A and B are shown apart, each in its own frame.
Chain A
Amino acid sequence: MSILSSSRSAQMSLPQKFGQLNWGLIFLLLLVSCVGFAMLYSAAGGDFQPWAVRQMARFAIGVGILVLVAMVDLRVWMRFAYLIYGVGLLMLIWVDVAGVVGMGAQRWINIGPVSIQPSEVMKVAIVLVLARYFHGLSHEQIGRPHYLIWPLMLVAMPAGLVLVQPDLGTAGMLIMTSGMLFLLAGVRLWKFAVLLAGGGAALPVAWGFLRDYQKQRILTFMNPESDPLGSGYHIMQSKIALGSGGIFGKGFLEGSQAHLNFLPEKQTDFIFTALAEEWGIVGGLTLLALYTLIIVYGYAIALRSRSQFGRLLALGLTSMFFLYVFINVAMVMGLLPVVGVPLPLVSYGGTSMLSLLFSFGLIIGVYVHRDLMVGRNGGHDM
């Protein structure tokens, strides 16, 4: 590692950093978002109102945030990792308490005109905090079990808080994203095997803690045809929409399942179905290919980074992005239970769009600071 190169990136001026932004990746994000705009336009029956216009505005704001986040020194994010995590945790506790005091499940905090979903904050925070923690451990240290106690607690606290909201989908996302970070950090594979076995054994116990509607969702997933007008309705209608789309689809704005409202939540969770109904398998695979390209970018950025923090951060967030796509698409195709995970960048939704572009800001930040040497605690002591 040449001192020159590391000091060069450390000393980069803001215009230099701006020039270093990964415009290819940003273009891909724009492309995927445009697919989203088109589908929202279609879902509204050929109208930019009410969804497409607002989604575009959010995208514009989100790209601004992305650029800002990317240009902030990576070490700053590392230094603030625990702070962000702590704020996220407090907000989660707040919504849980408010939920108990108020009426039923509460997932939002309203600050003036902005409403923040703490679980979205936590998804990014957990990656930041774990990346920071594992950055500070040597390969040997990671091999020792007691070094895993703290990061497991870091995961367990927010996951538990989200679970009692109850938001099974987000809790699952948190745990799976963290699992991938543990894997990437080099935790020994046999420990995962033990964990999986233990988790499998705990399933029956976990079943008892689920709410009735959650149990119903899982049962329906197992056999959607058993209750075609009840809980299975969404999955059935989604499969009908997908299947009837065929190879080339019914044509833009011609998706009868979506336009006649047989398809539930066609602008949010089931937007992939609407796309595949109108554009067929060709459209569906094209979107999947775009997502794949974005993920490949993520991998390339992670592997190119010289710091463990950057590597873990970039690949952790990329993997979370992958999880979003996989869970959503698998869900609408009837491969997973309906858990309420949006299709990233395409589904209508402000928080999700902003938090995703924030994440990509971090990933691109890793790219911009790819040669930066990062010390154990975020310093420049290497």
Chain B
Amino acid sequence: MNRDQDRVKSFTRRALLLGGAQVVLFSALTGRMYYLQVVESEKYKVLSEDNRINLRLLPPPRGRIVDRYGVQLATNKQNYRVIVIAEKTSNVERTLERVGAVVELTDYEKRRIMRDVKRKRSFIPTMVRENLTWEEVSRIEVNAPDLPGVSIEVGQSRHYPYADQTAHLIGYVAAVSEKELTGDPLLELPDFRIGKNGIEKMHDLRLRGRAGRSEMEVNAFGRVIRELDRREGQPGEDIQLTVDMGLQSYAHQRFGEESGAAVVMDVTNGEVLALVSAPSFDPNLFTNGISGENWRGLLNNEKAPLSNKALSGQYPPGSTFKMVVALAALDSGMVTSDHRVFCPGHRDLGNVRFHCWKKGGHGTVDMTQGLMHSCDVYFYDLAQKIGIDRISEMGKRFGLGAQLGIELPGERPGLMPTRDWKRRVLGHGWSLGETLVSGIGQGFILTTPLQLATMTARIASGKAVVPTLTRHAAEMASNNGQLVSAAHAADGPDFPSLGLPQSYLAVARAGMNGVSNVPGGTAYNARIKEKEYALAGKTGSAQVKRITMAERSTGVLKNEQRPWKDRDHALFVAYAPVDNPRYAIGMIVEHGGGGAATAAPIARDIMLECQKRDPVNKAPSSSLAALGPLPMPRETR
């Protein structure tokens, strides 16, 4: 008994000790619980919501791009795709076999799909094929009972109904590259497309709109349980161009196989009515990723279809520059329009001989005749008198040698050289010979077709017209959402005067009239015969390859005898109608030989079409908000 009492005492003590320890441990648990659930509770509540809620972006529909009449140039096409959800079918492979019996599926595609299916969680849809035709969609719908887990999903993809006719204008969209990521989560969506070129690029933010968001409750595996909240985004803005698609289409086709560019604009307000760079490409190829074969084809084409020659092609203006030289001479006060020069077919400077394009010479010519016949010697003379700096200054007044700020990417400045420029950039002084060749638009001088059109519009209007391509939302809003009417747009921007007396401009215009409408003018053969549509123009050709002394002695090869790459560029600028100018064009046919032979006829046809359509005087009929369904592209004429 004694022995047991010892044990009982000891046991009781130890039991109390153990109980005490257990009380301490449970207290620790209570303390920890208090810390987690009361002190830190807010922090964990946030984490719990983060866990639970998955934000999903709702990509906004991209704004459409329409021409001045509301014809849709860039739209969003319903893109039907077949998807398969692995968990809804017992055997994905067998289901795919059945899908393959309805729509075509290559073995490669099947392997790709099986790989995707294995990689993803079973409730996440896998894309089987996209861009289905209506027929394929209906075939799948009809067979739906035999296709467990297969369904049709509608997405939107960008579509350009006029394809290559608008490629250089509109540009295209493509998948976002790593460099373009800005942290905006919208850009990280797998099927999001971003403007990569043209208007699509320049106005990307406006076209893009703002993303909506949907708050989804998800479980730990990412499966959506339900939608908690949804905020609709803002669809992208529609953008209206000043372009007349009918004219654009005509001009594009008129180029045919030639390589070159043309810009048609309204001389009063600078609205670009057509902007063509040929050859072109199909921008629809880029929307879903261009194939390597197509891409290499575009890159290796010697006619450079990817380059927008209208504003990134820099060419010597050749004789189309002569109006600027004439105006610079008149403005210098050193000569008048009566100034006469005898042309023997060449002009000697020291022991260097500068040739006129006409071998026998023009005889004695005044300024108007010099322009009309494009006499090189006359302009060698003017250039020598006034010097390069005055010529360049006048060129700049006419919009040459600097970017005009058109709303398209890739615009190049061209070049109006000065003595200062040469010393600074090339490191040695200007020579008089360089002044002479500058007088006929050769040498260092570079211009773009857009600049040439602007130059011509300025000659026609006497104002510092600046080309524009879009009509802004603000204008539309002030007009109750209606398209800005042609009349309203016409008295739109008020450009400053060029500061040249009308009498000077009249000389340049008379010369251009002579070129096209007086027998003997260099483009008389390419005139417009209908009097009310007659244009005033100026031909030009820009040497690509210098004619060597050896060639001259053996007889100069005709352009047609030389390889394509070595032929001269053919240029033509014009405005019309002659008496009351409204439209101006600047164009180039690369390696087209003489301006009169290839460029002038194309320009004439475009200008005639333009005046017949008379886009600036035609009121658009529809408002942007009431745009009808997508019009089908016109049949090629």
> Which residues of A does B touch, CB under 8 Å?
1, 138-140, 180, 183-186, 237, 239-247, 256-257, 259-262, 276, 280-281, 284-285, 288, 292, 295, 299, 302-303, 308, 311-312, 315, 319, 322, 326, 329-330, 333, 335
Contacts and interface: CB of A to CB of B under 8 A. Distances in A.
B480 interface: no
Contacts of A237: 51, 220
B41 A184 contact: no
B306 interface: no
Contacts of B51: 237, 240, 256-257, 260, 262
A239 B33 contact: no
A256 B48 CA distance: 8
Nearest to A250: B48
Given A186-B14, A308-B7, A257 B48 contact: yes
A9 B237 CA distance: 94
Given A139-B3, A243-B43, 15 more contacts: A139-B6, A183-B14, A184-B14, A186-B7, A242-B36, A245-B37, A257-B48, A260-B217, A261-B220, A280-B37, A285-B30, A285-B33, A308-B7, A326-B26, A335-B29
Contact of A244 (B11, B26, B41): B41
Interface residues on B, range: 35 or more
B15 A302 contact: yes
Contacts of B4: 308
6 contacts: A186-B10, A242-B36, A245-B41, A303-B12, A308-B7, A333-B33
A1 B37 CA distance: 51
A335 B15 contact: no
A276 B3 contact: no
Interface stretch (B16-24, B134-142, B409-417, B461-469): B16-24
B30 A288 contact: yes
Chain B interface secondary structure, helix, strand, loop or mixed?
A: helix
Contacts of A257: 48, 51-52
B40 interface: yes
Given A281-B38, A284-B33, A243 B3 contact: no
A349 to B, nearest CB: 21
Contacts of B219: 259-262
Interface in B32-74: 32-34, 36-38, 40-41, 43-45, 47-49, 51-52
B19 A299 contact: yes
B25 interface: yes
A310 B596 CA distance: 122
Contacts of A1: 1
B29 A326 contact: yes
A260 B26 CA distance: 30
Given A246-B37, A288-B29, A262 B220 contact: yes
Top 7 A-B pairs ranked by shortest CB distance?
Answer: A243-B44, A244-B48, A260-B219, A139-B6, A261-B220, A281-B37, A186-B10
B103 interface: no
Interface string B213-235: 00001111100010000000000
A247 B26 CA distance: 18
A239 B220 contact: no
A315 B45 contact: no
B10 A242 contact: no
Given A260-B217, A260-B225, A295-B22, A330 B29 contact: yes
A261 B49 CA distance: 14
B189 interface: no
A303 B10 CA distance: 12
A244 B34 contact: no
A244 to B, nearest CB: 4
